[in-house]
Structure formats: structure tokens, C-alpha cells
Structure 1
Amino acid sequence: MQYRREVDGLRAVAILPVLFFHADLLSIHGGFLGVDVFFVISGYLITSILLDEIKKDRFSIVRFYERRARRIMPALSLVLIFSTLGALIFLPPQPMKEFSQSLVSVMAFASNIYFYLTSGYFSPNAEDLLLLHTWSLAIEEQFYIFFPLLLLLLKANKKLLQGSIFIIFLASLAYSIYLTNRDPSASFYLLPTRAWELLMGSIVAMYYVKAERLAGSVKELLSAVGLVALLGSYYLIDHSFSHPGWPTVIPVAATAIIIAFSNGTLVARLLSFRPFVYIGLISYSLYLWHQPLFALLRQKSIGTPEPALYVMAMAVVFAVSALSYRYVESPFRNRSRVSRKVIFTASAAAIVFFSSVGLVGHISSGLQARYAKDFELASVEHSPKRKGCHTSGQHYLSPEQACSYFDGKVTWATLGDSHMVELAYALAQELKTQQLGVKHLSFSACVPAYTFDIAMPGCSNWLKDSVAYLNAADEIEHVAVGFRYATLFPAPEIPHSKQPLGLGELNRAEVNEAYWQSLKSLIEALSEAGKQVYLIYPIPELPLDIKRGSFPFSIFHTTPWLNLGHASEFEQYAERNQFVLQRFEQLQSENVHKVKSFNVICPQGICPAEKDGRSLYFDDDHLSLYGAGLLAQELLRQ
């Protein structure tokens, strides 16, 4: 197979947006699409090599996996060594246990399945996971278990081979679009909904010779369109779009067009620019190193790291990646320096070693013995019904199907986002003695877009359905309403991050007002239907996750990182929630009761993270069941 410099340059166009996206630099909201570009490139290169070897009758399964081992294992092993050391030094027991589990899954090339079962890629805590990025490696390795065998089985019948690949491609794409609307996390992480991206590269490889025969002017036009479409998708597509789905077709098709038609064009000359080619050559190391370093930076920062810190971290990533490429990747790819026996033996040893380390970390519950004493607080727990009763997505749990606690007459309901999950359960615990029940209505990250539609799948429709259900349910007399107002109503001087409102272009102050008017309409609709509405004031938030803050900064420190008795102050809370607090105070209605959470959490103006040795939170902004229980008691006093 002939080497193409522009394909290495295209790798640079894939990796740089990924780095900038994870560092939150340059506003590249669709930088995660760089991984999709890598899938297409990988499918093209591997298929081209295999077809060439099959044509020359030189294909060998053993040699194929030898190449994969040389490509994947040496640099991955080095990164895992440093990641494990970083985890041992900096991670508290529970995150260390989770890291250990992910380490085992990486060695089984099943980390995509592990992360599907334990987290969502765009969830707030996902970016803190040191090995989250290995999901894409797992996808590729799973794909390359089956794909070479398919080529071997059908190599004698070219048309049957091409037809089979097209059918699998279309089936995978259709299933991806279908599943994204039903189980977005599964669609994101699992092979059946990602195979079409790799197969897009395979299709290019099968028809590349024909594509090369097009006139030069046509190739110039197509490759230019492909490059513009790819770069545009990084800025125009973000995680509010269904992904992978129809929007993902744009960067995937654009990548395929560039690979198929760019040879000999201006686009190829641009991509062959020496710095681009070099970045492409070290792109695998860049991809491996950036996530552990960025994740540790986020975990060891209070609040969001400053851009300057990310720039410095980026410089470190480039430096270690350059060294990794020169002294690890390149030597191990050289068959004259490292034999097949050595690469297979070393790979097997790495798998055994890291799997053993991971199992030890899991069995020991995160190696708690690293710390001189147990710093873990009691009651760092969320609702046991969170997974089954909290809903999200276009195919949400309808109000009629929503959970009711426990067995009493349901006269209460909770309505809002994830901040209401623990309150619903705690409130039901308090009401159980009176043989009264609670209807739990909560939608993940939903905003009070009651009077207009937004692009967040399901949110607006769920709100309208829920309010209609509550108004029609005569037995429900009391409704507690609450959202995460601290992020919903930031200060007007903070630029409006892209939240598709369906209201045209608005500045931050106008967005705040639009949401407030919608929330006010929701409250009025419930009040006018005769419901007693309990307006839950913003929950005071911690500067960092309690599971990290209750432990020392590292194993070399001896006191909790966070001042548990004085985590923040009311003045900070009031400043952060200024807009909504003013609006709440202005709201006057006989049926609306104001539940001032800060009176419960921040007595005497001091906001602690724990009370009597028990945690008030289970992360940095959600109350634990214990904290929610205190709020429920305050609610019932009214």
C-alpha cells in the first residue's frame, strides 16, 4: 500500500479538535467528532492493507494481530503505568476502585462496555475518568476480531464481499440512529452502532482506485467540500445533537470524501504540511496521554481549571507524546529490533500485570491502606431509586409510569431535574408514617422550558406532560418544584453557552428572563389547578465533589482537602444565585410556599459539607439522602 502523507495530516485534523474539546479551548464544541474521523481513517488503512495482502496471497491472521499488538500495546502500556501511579497518589478509595475496574476492562479490550454500564460520555463526571478515552480502542479491537475473518471468507467473491460490507454498513447506521433516540449511551459506546464509521473507511478502500480516475477539477472540488464540511462540523455540532446519528454522517462522510478524492489536490498539499504530518504521526500517543493528564488536572482543581493550566497541560501532552512516539512506538514497530515473539510475550505480560493490579484495586476497595486513616464520611449515598425512577431522553418515562413511593395514598409529587431525585425519596420516607405517598417526576438536566421547546430531547415534552398529569390528578395536592438554578441562571455577564432555546439569538440576560418566565408559568399552572406548590430554593453547592474533598489532596497529605465544616459561605451562594433569588422573593401567591434550602444547609451563614460526621452531599451539588432528609423535614414544617 502506497504511503499518503495527507492521511497522516488528516489525523492531525482529527486529534487537535479532540484535545481542544477536552481542554475547553477555542470553543470547538464538536471536537469529540475527531474520534469518528479516526474510525474512518482506521477502517480505510486496515482494509487497504488487508485487501493488498489478500490480493498478493500474503495475508496472515497472526501477522495481522502482530501489527495490532505493535501498534497498540507498547504506548498504551506506558500510559497505563503512569496513569496507575497517578491514581495511586491522587485518587481517593472509591475513584481508585473505579479506576481499577476500568483498568481490567482496558486489558480485556472491553472498556467501551464498562463505561456504557457505569457512565455516560457527556455526563458531568465522565471527563474525570482517567481511562475514559480507551472506549474507542476497544471498539476498534472488537471490530478487528470479526472484520479480517469476513474478508477471508468472502475474498473469492468480490461482489458478495462488497455487498456484505454495504449491508452491514447500512444496518449499523440505521441501528445507530434508532438506538440513539432510545439509549444514547449504548449507541455511543457499543460496536454495533459504531461499525458503520469504520466500514465507511472500508468502502473508500474498496473503491479508491475508481475514485482516483475522476478529473482533477472534480477531485479538487470534492476534497475542498469535504474539508470545509469536516471543519464546520466541529463548530456546528455539539453534544446537544443526537450522536452518533444523522448529524454524525456529516463528519464521517466528509472524512471519506477527503480520503477518496484528495490525492494530488490542494487539500492534500495543505494536509501534507510538515507540522500536520508530524502531529498525525504522534496522534496515537497524543490521544493516549491527554485524557489521564487532563482528568487528573480536573480532579485536582477546585472548580474549572483556568485556560492557562490547560495550555500548560497541552504542552506537557505534546512533549511526552513526542518522546513516546520516538522511544516507544517507533522501536516496537520495527521488526528488526523487536521480534514477533518479544512483542507477543510483552503484550501478554502487560495484560496479566495490569489486570492483576486492577483486580487488587477492586478487591481492596480502592487500596484504602494508602491513607493513614479512613477519611470517608458516612451517608455519601444517593437514592436507591435514582437509576430506575429518574428519566431522560426522547423516550422518557411517562408521568403515568413514573415511580410512586411507597404504598400510601399519593398526595405529594416532586417535579424537576436531578436535584429532586433524593428529595423525592427522602420526602416519601418522612410521609410513610402518615401512610402517604409521593409521585417522583424528575428528568436529567432538564430546564424549565415549559412554554417553549428546546433541542434537548424530551425535556420540554416531559415537562408539559408532567404538569398536565399533575393538574388532572385530583388526589395529588402538594407539588415540590426544583431545578439546578446555579447553572440555569448564571450572572448576566456570563456569555450564553449554546443551549438551543428555539427563541432565536439571545444574550445571557434574555435567556435568564426567558427561562424565568417559563418557570413562572409552570408554577402558575400548578397553582391555578389548586395545587400547593413548594418552591425549592437553589441547593448550596460545594467547591468540589465530597468524595474527593473529604480525603486529602494526595496520599502524602494528612488532612481533608475540603474544609468540611466551612466549605463555603452564604455570601457566595447569594452571589451565585442572585438572579433567581430576586425573582423568587418577588413571587407572591397564596398557593406557593418557599422552601429556603440555605436555611437548612447553611445555618449562621456557614455552608458545611457534613453534619455530625454525616455527609450532606453525594457529589458537589446533589444532596445525599441524609441532606435531602433534612430538607424534606423543613418542607413538611410548612
Structure 2
Amino acid sequence: MAMVAAQSKGFRADINGLRAWAVVAVVLYHFGVPGLQGGFVGVDVFFVISGYLMTGIILSALQAGHFSLGQFYWARARRIVPALLVLCAVLLLAGWFVLLSEEYQTLGRHVRDSLLFTSNLRYLKESGYFDSGAHEKWLLHTWSLSVEWQFYLLLPLVLLALWRLFSDRRALFLGLLAMFAGSLLWCVILTARQPEAAFFVLTARAWELLAGSLVFLLAGVLGLSDLLRRRLSWLGLGLIVMAVLGYSPETSWPGWRALLPVCGAGLVLLAQRSNSRWTTSGVAQWMGDRSYSLYLWHWPVVVALAYLELLASPAWIAAGIGLSLLLGHASYQLVEVTSRRALAQADWRRGLVALLGGVLVVTLAAQWVRKAELPGRLPEAVREIEAFGQAGNPRREECLEAGAECVYGGPRLRAIVLGDSHADAVVTAVAASLPTPADGLLFKGESGCLIMQGARPLDDDADCLALNRWVAEQLPQTLPGQPVILINRLASYAFGGLPGEEDNPVDRPRVYFQARYARPTEAFRAEFRAAYLATACRISRSHPLYLLRPIPEMPLNVPVTLARARLRGESREVKLPIEAYRQRQAFLWGVQDEAVERCGARILDPLPYLCDQQECLGSMQGLPLYIDDDHLNEQGGRRLMPLFEPLFRKTD
């Protein structure tokens, strides 16, 4: 075990340089630099480095007979917490001036979870890292810190138990190897079944950190020649570069593909080359020293550029990278170095009280921000926009559920509104179009559910399947002869979402029939068309069927875009070119037209009420017509009342 102690002592320039490679890959990837779409693997490299170093620290202390669990945790806390604490405090302060109400409350929740090192679990609930909506989350990158901290809590306990049981290198290696294999297997399985969970949870990531542990143990017994070390170092860096250049956000991740950068990092660590120009140059050492602070500060800069809609500008990207370097350097010098010296020299009890006090203050502030309404923080004009944006169907939570049967209006039911969240968004406008207060309608809906015979959600959502069974089995006997208004966001199910939508990738169907399709191919379109027509004709046999043309989908979140602009003192409207609408909806309009010819369905066209000859309106006079990018708010829905009123006059 003599080699264990030898390796853990002293500064390793090659490790510091490897940190530089990792942080550069992550930073350039997050800023969207072309050709580096796999730069997210830098986080995996960091995991391997952490496992290697922590294992060395723990085993060296165990061998010397003076390992202290408390001292280990204290050393990790004073290394990680101060810079993170300052970042969180700065974001809370800046957010007071520049964030909207919901955004600021969300930041408070994320600050709290980041400082408690549970943010990976928070972001798992919100999913997901590769979505464009991730640019709304100022502390998304702290998920990796949470994974590492959770690993730090468990690793010394595992090594301490193995050491006391065996005190043997081979037993330690075999024990860690078994855990490595189990975690890797679980990661592969989970990536196929629940990729978001595989990305964020420790159990699916532990193998990457344990890879570093295994490399540390191997390095203590392998006698490698200089030539072999050189070749291993080159091979390792080559594998990392291959991953950075060859992978992309569309790559199934992490899974077995993460072996490429993990093995690359492991080989560089195993080589232990202290004279490689690629890892020990002055630039690499400068970046490596500041890698933690660079990692912390670069992501808020990325989010700020996205917030200001500047992330597509090469000049602003270059400026953002420069600002990240400046902030990282300042954080390293003013926070990391200063706090490390102060906490190392102070009595550990006083240092612990100071650090915990700081965490407590910022965490309580974050919790206050998360809960407080703070009505006077924003200008009145911004609050008005927010109020319009939040004015959706007040009965959404009650009624947008497959098992619910909600009646809007009076007891004399004159129609059935059927569909998904787009139906929920306009059902109040349909109800307001009824001729008398005694008239009412039945609403049946489920969020994200396409009403279509034989269509299955990609996640086989049981509630959606149940709603479609109700349509097939119960609808024919429910208010026969009364109109059915069918409303779905058809383009989303056929062609995926728009850029910026979380959990709804562009150009990827959200449903399947006989086979799953990664793209809306001609074969998929044929299945979609046949199922839509079959559904329309079946409903038409017992009810007059009205098909609402798709509601225009805006290119931006309308209320957020308007409110942010107003907060900056700007006036803005959100619009969609009518030609863009027609291009996205052409296939679906054709299918609906065929349902008119074959099944006797009738068309309800919202475009005359939401669009002119050139554009569809997302806002009017600076106020939103939508609650997001594709759901109408109450004001937008009420514009459709003249569309629905003639329907009921025909049935009087």
C-alpha cells in the first residue's frame, strides 16, 4: 500500500490540466460553439477526476491511521461551498431587479436546492438538461455538484468499511469494481427506460466516479514505462476529443456511450505524465486552477444571453466567454483562494460556524423569495402583463383530467368539448358562446392526449389511453345528437414541438400506432391520417362533429417575452408569419378537409379571429393573448366566441 500514500501527496499538473480540458469543453458547448456539441462530456471527466482524488485522500489517511470523517467532510465543504454561496447570493440580488415574479420564485427554489446539494433531484423533476428551456434555469449546472457531494458523503463510509473488513488492496479493488459494474449496468438500463433519471441520479452516475477510484488503485501497482505513459496519455485525450466532436445532445446519454470520455479521463490519470504540453502548459494550468469558478460562473452568463435573446450572436457569445473567464478569475482569486486560506488557518469550529451561517442566511433568503409574492418589486405595466399571462382556465386542475366530467355553464347540456390542453384553453370561450345561462356543455380532456383511435403516447400514459377508451365506448351513448367539438394540438403529436419546448423535441412524433417513428416519415403520416379519419367518422355516426383548425403556435413564450421587454423599458409585440403557420399545419389541414368529405365533419377556423393576411397575433397593444407560446389565455379565447356562437344557433 506504499504507493497509495505516494500518489496522493503533492500537486499533479496533469490532473490540473485535465480539469482545464473538461471545463473548456463544457463552457464552449454551453455557449453553442459549432462543432463541439459533445462538450457536455467534460462533466463526466470531472467525475472521474473527483473519484480518483477522493479515493487517494481517504486511503492515504486510512493507511497512515489518522482518517477523520469529520475532517474529510470539512475539507470538501470549505473547497466547494464558499464560491457556490457567493454565486447564489449574487444571483438572488441581481434577480430582484431583472426577473419576473415566477422566474424569481423559481430561482429561490433552485438556490435552496443547490446549497442543500439536492438540485440534481430538483432538475430531474423539472427535466431536462438538453432542452432549450434549460436556459431559463440559472443554476442548472449545479446538478453535477450535487451528485459529487452525494458521492463524497458515501465514499468514505464505503472505503472505511472495506478497509476495516479487509485492509487489502485486492479486496478494495474487487469491492469497488463490483459497485462500478452494478452502477454501470443500472445506468445502461435506466438510460433506455428513463433517460432523465439516468442523467441526474447518483446511482446511475456513481460508476463514473468509481472509475476514478479504480484507476487510483491500479496506478499504485502498475509499473509503466515512459513510452507507455505517453501513449496512454495521448490515447486518453484522443478519446475525450472523439466524444466532444462525435456526440451531441441527441445522443442517448449517459448509458454505455459515456464509457468513451470516462475511459479517456482514466487513461490520462493512469499515465501520470507531468511533462505533457497538452496538460501542463501555462494556459492549461491557469484554466485548471480556475476550473471550478469558471464552471460556476459561465452558465449564468449563458442564461443571461438567452434571457436577452443574444445567444445566437457570435459577437455576444465571444463577449460572454470573455466575461466568464473574467468572473471565473475574480471568483478564484477573491473567493476560492481567500476563503481557503482563511478557513484553513482558523479553528475548524469557528470556520464551520461561519460557513454554516452563510449557507443558512442565503438559504433562508432563497426560501423567502420562493414563497413571497413581492407585489411591489415590479412596475405596474409588467405586473399587468403577468396577470394576463396567468389568466388561463381557472378550472384547469379540476377538469383537465381523463376521469373528470366537468360541466361548464347551466344544466341543459348543448355540446361536448373533447381534447387536450388546447381544448381546456378555449372551453370557457365555448361556454360563454352558449345562448342562455341555462345552457351548458360537457368537457372531457387530458393534457398531452391526442384523441385518436389507435394512437398511443410514447410513454403509454394510462390516463390518455383511458380517455380514448371513453371516446370509443362511452361517447356514442353520451348526449347523442349533440355537437362534439374536437380540439387538439395536432402538429405537436405529428411533428413534435417548437424550439425551446421542454420534453417535446422538434421533428419527433409524440405518438405511435403500429411502430415507433423517430421522425414523421411518410409511413407515419399515413398511419396518422388513417387513424384521424377513422376517429372522425366514428364520432360523426352519433354526434355532429366540429373540428377546430390548429391554434397558431407562437415562436416565443408570449407573456414572458412581453414582460421582459417592458422590464427593460421596451415595447414589443409577438407575431407569427401566416406563411409559417401554413407550412407547419398544411398536412393537418388536408387531413381535416378529408374528414369533412368522408365523414361529414365541419370545420371551425380560428384564423380570421387571431390572424390578418400576413401575421397571427400573439399579443395586442402590448398585452398577451397566450399564457405561453401555444395556449390561448382567457382574452385570446374570448376572441373566438363569434366562431362558436353560430354553432348553437344551428342547434336551437
TM-score category of the 2 structures, normalised to the smaller one: 0.7 to 0.9
Query: Identity, % of aligned pairs?
Result: 25
The correspondence for 1:176, drawn from 187, 193, 199, is: 187
Structure 2 equivalent of residue 421 of structure 1 = 421
Secondary structure, aligned partner of 2:132: coil
RMSD: 4.5
Shift of 1:138: 1.5
Aligned-partner Cα distance in 1 for 2:548–2:295: 46
Structure 1 equivalent of residue 410 of structure 2 = none
The one-letter amino acid of 1:619's match is D
Aligned-partner Cα distance in 1 for 2:190–2:588: 40
Within a 5 Å distance, the mapping from 1:8-87 to structure 2 comes to 8-87=16-95
Structure 2 equivalent of residue 263 of structure 1 = 272
Task: Confirm or deny that 1:522 pairs with 2:537.
Answer: no
Confirm or deny: 8 A CA contact 2:406 2:444 kept in the other structure.
Answer: no
The correspondence for 1:568, drawn from 551, 555, 574, is: 574
Secondary structure, aligned partner of 2:330: helix
The one-letter amino acid of 2:266's match is A
Within a 5 Å distance, the mapping from 1:159-174 to structure 2 comes to 159-174=170-185
Structure 1 equivalent of residue 327 of structure 2 = 320
Structure 1 equivalent of residue 148 of structure 2 = 140
Aligned-partner Cα distance in 2 for 1:407–1:469: 18
Shift of 1:550: 2.8
Q: What are structure 2's unaligned runs of at least 5 residues?
A: 1-7, 408-412, 477-483, 500-504, 510-517, 539-544, 648-652
Tell me which structure has the larger Cα radius of gyration: 2
The one-letter amino acid of 1:234's match is V
Structure 1 equivalent of residue 242 of structure 2 = 232
Q: What are structure 1's unaligned runs of at least 5 residues?
A: 391-401, 415-419, 452-456, 492-496, 502-510
Structure 2 equivalent of residue 507 of structure 1 = none
Shift of 1:352: 1.8
Does the C-alpha gap of structure 1 residues 321 and 489 become closer, same or farther in structure 2, counting only changes over 3 Å? closer
Does the C-alpha gap of structure 1 residues 58 and 255 become closer, same or farther in structure 2, counting only changes over 3 Å? same
The one-letter amino acid of 2:529's match is I
The one-letter amino acid of 2:528's match is L
Confirm or deny: 8 A CA contact 2:22 2:46 kept in the other structure.
Answer: yes
Shift of 1:548: 5.1
Within a 5 Å distance, the mapping from 1:165-564 to structure 2 comes to 165-210=176-221, 212-260=222-270, 262-264=271-273, 268-301=276-309, 304-334=311-341, 338-341=345-348, 343-365=351-373, 367-373=374-380, 374-375=383-384, 376-378=386-388, 380=390, 403=402, 405-406=404-405, 414=419, 420-423=420-423, 426-427=426-427, 436=442, 438=444, 440=446, 442=448, 458=458, 480=487, 482-484=490-492, 518-519=524-525, 522-527=528-533, 530=537, 534=547, 536-537=549-550, 539-541=552-554, 543-547=556-560, 549-550=562-563, 553-554=566-567, 561=570, 563=572
Shift of 1:538: 5.8
Structure 1 equivalent of residue 100 of structure 2 = 92
The one-letter amino acid of 1:403's match is A
Aligned-partner Cα distance in 1 for 2:283–2:12: 15
Does 375-384 or 34-43 show the bigger shift?
Answer: 375-384
Q: How many pairs does the alignment contain?
A: 584
Does 25-34 or 86-95 show the bigger shift?
Answer: 25-34
Aligned-partner Cα distance in 1 for 2:552–2:40: 31
Aligned-partner Cα distance in 2 for 1:552–1:67: 45
Confirm or deny: 8 A CA contact 1:380 1:615 kept in the other structure.
Answer: no
Shift of 1:280: 1.6
Secondary structure, aligned partner of 1:368: coil
Structure 2 equivalent of residue 602 of structure 1 = 611
Confirm or deny: 8 A CA contact 2:290 2:328 kept in the other structure.
Answer: yes
Shift of 1:8: 1.5
Instruction: Provide the TM-score with structure 1 as the length reference.
Output: 0.77
